[in-house]
Amino acid sequence: MEEKAIAELQKHGFSKYECKAYIGLLKSPAITGYELSKRSGVPRSMIYEVLGKLLDKGAIQTVPSDPIVYKPVEPKLLLARLKEEMDASLEVLESSLTTLESDQKIDVVTRIVQYEHIVQEMLSMIREANKELWLSIWSPLVKDIEKAVREKEGSIPIFTVLFGAEDKKLGHTYHHNYMAPDIVSKRMGGYLTILVRDEEEALIAKFSDRGSEWAVKSTDPALVLIATEYIRHDIMVEEVTTAFGPEKLDELWKKREDLTHVMTGKNSLL
């Protein structure tokens, strides 16, 4: 039992000799340092240093006499004091560590594979949204997320760039009509899909006819901003094309090698 008590006291900042001295006083209260050294096993050369540290910790008291004798503070009082000090220390730690976490937080990028898992992540993000949703999706995905998006319509703004599925609308919907979806997918090597929730979290996925789907999800502000701006840009391109006609846009980029590279991904500048 004594060894167990020593081990536990050491967890609260007591040295082994301090533990032995305090327990020695519990067994033989009101004795001198010399007597305590003999009974506790604390070396005589160290006993008064140890007693001084126990006095500083409030674990023992002195009794005025000649020579001075020492007595222990009752265990209940000592433990109550230790508990108060521990609680106060933990409160300070909670406050300071939380502040440090907020200042130095590392935004982890989570990687997800397999179509079903990616869809589940998207559904969770849609259901958690309470401010706004930004979507850039392809027609095959509509059937899997349409119900969840419909449940959010009317309660938060939803902006969707939709490739294919001309008959569908998910919130404010902008159909990607200027360049055929199959041309876009060929340039990208798949179907780039983006979901942004509440300006807080973004998911970027790439689906493929070959079944090698992957996605990344993050709350990193830079990634969230880039994903949102990508969708904003696509929306404005579609609206400009609708307003001025696709011929004007064709005329702008097809006569320039740099813009041809930008639009098609084919390097013709070498």
User: How many whole angstroms from its chain centre is CA 247?
Assistant: 47
> Do the Cβ atoms of 193 and 208 come closer than 8 Å?
no
**Which tokens belong to 226?**
């880039």
Candidates 1.25.40.340, 3.20.20.70, 1.10.10.10, 3.40.50.720; CATH matching 2-73: 1.10.10.10
- Give the CA count within 13 Å in the CB-facing half-sphere of 150: 8
Measured CA to CA, the distance from residue 99 to residue 88 in angstroms comes to: 17
**In this predicted model, what pLDDT tens digit does every residue of 204-229 receive, in sequence order?**
999 887 767 899 999 999 999 999 99
Confidence band for 254, pLDDT divided at 50, 70 and 90: confident
**In this predicted model, what pLDDT tens digit does every residue of 61-119 receive, in sequence order?**
999 888 999 999 999 999 999 999 999 999 999 988 888 766 555 667 899 999 999 99
- The CATH 1.10.10.10 portion of the chain extends over 2-73
- The CATH 3.30.870.10 portion of the chain extends over 110-264
pLDDT at 233 over 70: yes
Tokens 């011929």 sit on residue? 247
pTM: 0.57
Candidates 3.30.870.10, 3.40.50.620, 3.40.250.10, 3.10.110.10; CATH matching 110-264: 3.30.870.10
